[in-house]
Amino acid sequence: ADSLTEEQVSEFKEAFSLFDKDGDGQITTKELGTVMRSLGQNPSESELQDMINEVDADNNGTIDFPEFLTMMARKMKDTDSEEEIREAFKVFDRDNNGFISAAELRHVMTSIGEKLTDDEVD
């Protein structure tokens, strides 16, 4: 949760409190999916169940805000890595056609000082 910005924490707190109907600082596991979707995440049922199992240590069916924050920070980290991979792919995919051709691969490898033979590229 340390990697979250104040703005993110504040957004998560806002979303969390919308679903914390009685204001006791707990949301039920059923509400978790709704909260995450409101924040632009789209977890599958099994992902939700896994997250709940990770966080809900006492199996009481509710999640408090610190637990929720930890979970969202993990989820955000996954999203960032995917974005980083896409950015790296774009470096190789010079004509933006969604594929990395042998020529594009050769260009990038040569530009970072890796000389490749035609056989190695193919």
- pLDDT at position 4 is 81
> Which CATH class for the 82-112 domain?
mainly alpha
* Residue 118, burial from CB neighbour count under 10 angstroms (0-12, 13-18, 19+): exposed
What stretches of the chain adopt beta strand conformation (E)?
26-28, 62-64
Averaged pLDDT of the chain: 80
pLDDT tens readout for residues 51-79: 777 887 677 778 889 888 887 887 777 66
Note the pTM of the prediction, 2 decimals.
0.49
Tell me the CATH number for domain 6-80. Answer: 1.10.238.10
Could you tell me where in the chain the CATH 1.10.238.10 domains are found? Answer: 6-80, 82-112
pLDDT > 90 fraction of the chain, expressed in percent and rounded:
8
